[in-house]
């Protein structure tokens, strides 16, 4: 991986992490097209730069992260299902991460759902994060587990989960952002630990790549979050559904036409 490739992947991460379009899926496809997806460092890089993205959430919602202990307890409750299923299904998840076909199919299915989700959940009753109960937080946490399938999108799964529990679009999106912090931090810590357990280490250039990647991901995610909340509050999710379907179909067409997008 060189610096141009690192910057491209970081831009993809920042743009897609908090949008319901699957950042993991986009980075799998992006790294595959650049021919670097099979490198161990690339797989680590795409996880570690999530730290830069989640830092943007902490900065934007700084006051919310210091408002009450209940805020953290709700996030912890919502995080529990992903922690359990992530540990139990780690090997299977790694296998799925190597399949552009899985990503494409997930993008299409998720896109179809986003076309109709605004009509399914028209009458929200929860308009502030503090109104979210612990049971509701846990239910949203189970929705997040669906996103272990590459291409589903953690953001999409948790937003749809939130809306199904009567959260408004903006509150569902914000709770999804908050939940990303412990979830992505945990995933990053585990990936780093596994990387070092396998006897790997960082070169000076790789450290620089990680620094640049996190900075770029932070800046792009900061901008994306601001625009996303404003957009979905007014217009909903149909545009993201259409985008997912188009991208998913293009990937499937490329695969079926013999284009080599195999990760390993």
pLDDT digit string, tens, across residues 26-63: 887 888 888 887 787 888 898 889 889 989 988 988 88
Using a pLDDT cut of 90, give the percent of the chain over it.
Answer: 30
Angle, CA 60 vertex, CA 63 and CA 118 arms, to 5° = 105
pLDDT at 264: 37
pLDDT bin (cut points 50, 70, 90) of residue 88 is confident
Q: What are φ and ψ of residue 126, in 5° steps?
A: -110, 115
Residue with tokens 């079926």: 256
**What are 90-135's pLDDT values in tens digits?**
666 666 666 778 888 889 999 999 999 888 988 889 988 888 899 9
pLDDT at 243: 92
Q: Check whether 263 has a pLDDT greater than 50.
A: no
Q: What are φ and ψ of residue 242, in 5° steps?
A: -60, -45
- CA 158/CA 140 separation, integer angstroms: 6
Residue with tokens 């908050």: 178
Please state the three-class secondary structure of the chain as a single string: CCHHHHHHHHHHHHHHCCCCCCHHHHHHHHHHHCCCCCCHHHHHHHHHCHHHHHHHHHHHCCCHHHCCHHHHHHHHHHHHHHHHHHHHCHHHHHHHCCCHHHHHHHHHHHHHHHHHHHHHCCCCCECCHHHCCHHHHHHHHHHHHHCCCCCCCHHHHHHHHHHHCCECHHHHHHHHHHHHHHHHHHHHHHHHHHHHHCCCCCCHHHHHHHHHHHHHHHHHHHHHHHHHHHHHHHHCCHHHHHHHHHHHHHHHHHHHCCCCCCCC
Q: Check whether 11 has a pLDDT greater than 50.
A: yes
CB atoms within 10 A of CB 125: 9
pLDDT at 97: 61
Kindly state the tokens that stand for 13: 């991460």
**What are 150-197's pLDDT values in tens digits?**
788 888 899 999 999 999 988 998 888 888 888 888 878 887 888 788
Q: What's the whole-number mean pLDDT along residues 210-216?
A: 94
Q: Is the pTM higher than 0.85?
A: no
Phi-psi region of 224 (alpha: psi -120 to 50; beta: other; left: phi over 0): alpha
Cβ-contact 30, 19 below 8 angstroms: no
The length of the chain is: 264
Question: What Rg value do the Cα atoms of the chain yield, rounded?
Answer: 18
Q: What are φ and ψ of residue 167, in 5° steps?
A: -80, 145
pLDDT at 98: 62
Kindly state the tokens that stand for 165: 């529990």
How do the domains of the chain map onto residue ranges?
3-256
């Amino acid at each position: 991986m060189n610096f141009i490739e690192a910057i491209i992947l970081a831009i993809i991460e920042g743009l897609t992490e908090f949008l319901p379009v699957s950042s993991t899926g986009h980075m799998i496809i992006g790294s595959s097209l650049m021919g670097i997806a099979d490198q161990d460092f690339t797989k680590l890089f795409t996880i570690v730069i999530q730290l830069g993205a989640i830092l943007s959430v902490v900065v934007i919602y700084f006051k919310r992260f210091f408002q009450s202990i209940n805020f953290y307890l709700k996030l912890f409750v919502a995080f529990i299902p992903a922690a359990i299923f992530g540990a139990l299904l780690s090997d299977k998840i790694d296998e799925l991460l190597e399949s552009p076909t899985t990503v494409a199919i997930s993008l299409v299915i998720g896109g179809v759902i986003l076309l109709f989700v605004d009509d399914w959940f028209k009458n929200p009753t929860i308009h502030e994060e503090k109104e979210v109960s612990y049971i509701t937080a846990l239910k949203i946490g189970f929705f997040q587990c669906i996103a272990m399938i590459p291409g589903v999108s953690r953001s999409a799964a948790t937003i749809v989960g939130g809306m199904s529990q009567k959260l408004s679009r903006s509150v569902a999106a914000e709770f999804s952002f908050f939940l990303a912090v412990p979830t992505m931090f945990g995933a990053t810590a585990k990936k780093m630990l596994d990387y070092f357990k396998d006897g790997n280490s960082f070169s000076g250039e790789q450290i620089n790549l990680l620094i640049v990647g996190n900075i770029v991901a932070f800046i792009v995610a900061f901008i994306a979050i601001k625009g996303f909340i404003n957009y979905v509050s007014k217009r909903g999710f149909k545009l993201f559904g259409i985008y997912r379907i188009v991208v998913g179909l293009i990937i499937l067409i490329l695969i079926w036409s013999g284009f080599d997008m195999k990760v390993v």
